[in-house]
Structure 1
Amino acid sequence: MSITGKVALVTGAGQGIGRAIALRLARDGADVALVDINASKINQVAGEIAELGRKATVFVADVSQLDQVVAAVEHTYSTLGGFDIIVNNAGVAQVESLLEVTPEQVDRILRINVQGVLWGIQVAGKKFKSLGQRGKIINACSIAGHEAFALLGVYSATKFAVRALTQAAAKELASDGITVNAYCPGVVGTDMWVEIDQRMADITGAEVGATYKKYVDGIALGRAETPDDVAGFVSYLASPDADYMTGQAPLIDGGMVYR
């Protein structure tokens, strides 16, 4: 079933998985609001969406700040004439031993990965209810939200938190016809994994590229994930085909973590 004519907001839309999600939603018929902290990157994605024949608007925001998320949603509604889907995709990685992580590092990743999702849920839920309509809330989780990994302990904790927020929000908002789900990628070939691999090399002394190869070698389907692999599943969650699904955080990792 189609999402043609729907309006979607995607955070972290300037690169990687967020960019792929925004483009896939546009290809599948949605108009898209692109939200990111980097203006130049979302402007480029907006041009790509325009070439697909769909409308796009851009909004620079820090998702850890509630007032900026409110402003992004209001901009989306006023500019694109509707608001049906939010993809709380923005997030950051962190590679650090639990014995060495600093208060500043913990504060930053919690603000972005957890509060950023929470504010997206809160603001979108209120907007859908004020409009008297159903809506789709879709959150970025991870295989690390199902199984914690060494040197990714705090990152894993933030993704476990996203699963908790997804489940709780699904229960709170179901009576309003609002569904809340998450997606859990594995090893995706993006700049984030370049950073993870480099930091793993710094900490463990492994060669650059060795950590990435180790994880990819453990994928049952035999290759690293692409942003498009994730985007196709997110488009499904955004579509009417997923109307009877809520509170779930499925793994889409090519066969790494099994639940």
Structure 2
Amino acid sequence: MFQNVSFFVFLFITILPSFPAINMRLESAVTQYQSKLGLPVTGKLDSTTLSEVMSPRCGVGDNDDINHKLHITKHYTYFPGRPTVFNRAFARWGSVIPVNFTETQYYKHADIKIGFYNKDHGDGEPFDGVLGVLAHAFSPKSGHFHLDAAETWSVDFNSEKSTVGIDLESVATHETGHVLGLGHSSVKEAVMYPSLNLRSKKVDLRLDDVNGVQVLYGSNPNFSLTSFLQSETTSPSSKSFSLRRHRLNPIFSISLMV
């Protein structure tokens, strides 16, 4: 990723001024990127934009067609170690929508299959090694949830001292949003924002995350928007999604295979 960014910077700053037509197209692309991520829109590859480009990020494209829903009853199971970080990630989303995540012992019955993979792993979306793309997940039509095995995954920064440590629970929470059908958010504080700083934890859903997933599924009968807003410690999220009233769907479960 860093080699690609370096080449892009060289191209943008050194070569493109001699090619106005190409320069205009790339400036348009930079403008779109800045707008999508809620950055100051300058059309220039400034330090703020470059910092965001170089941040470790989710591998799901910002323009990918998502927004599908899960409709049928499903189950999940865990790989050795039974990491509770995935339990907590699923539970966060389940607390705001009428969805249950349940466990199965049978791989073929799992609708969401989670695993760690290196480089090219057969889905047409190869990983790039340390940092760069951290993970990618596919919407309910597929349900595959892949993490880059080359990363230094951490569940406790007190014991994991690596300077390039990535919080597994933060990425698990983000990718579960994609599995549920959400795209990326332009709200930097949101779980569904596409990048994550090194050695940082971002696991608490924000209003933008909640609004988006409830547009697809409706609200969990036990969810209180008032209580949620009182618990938020950051400024209100942007209006990437709007609150809508929905008939509550029956509570159903999602099958996962880890």
| Shared fold per TM-score greater than 0.5 | no
**TM (normalized to structure 1)?**
0.27
**TM (normalized to structure 2)?**
0.27
Greater helix percent: which structure? Answer: 1
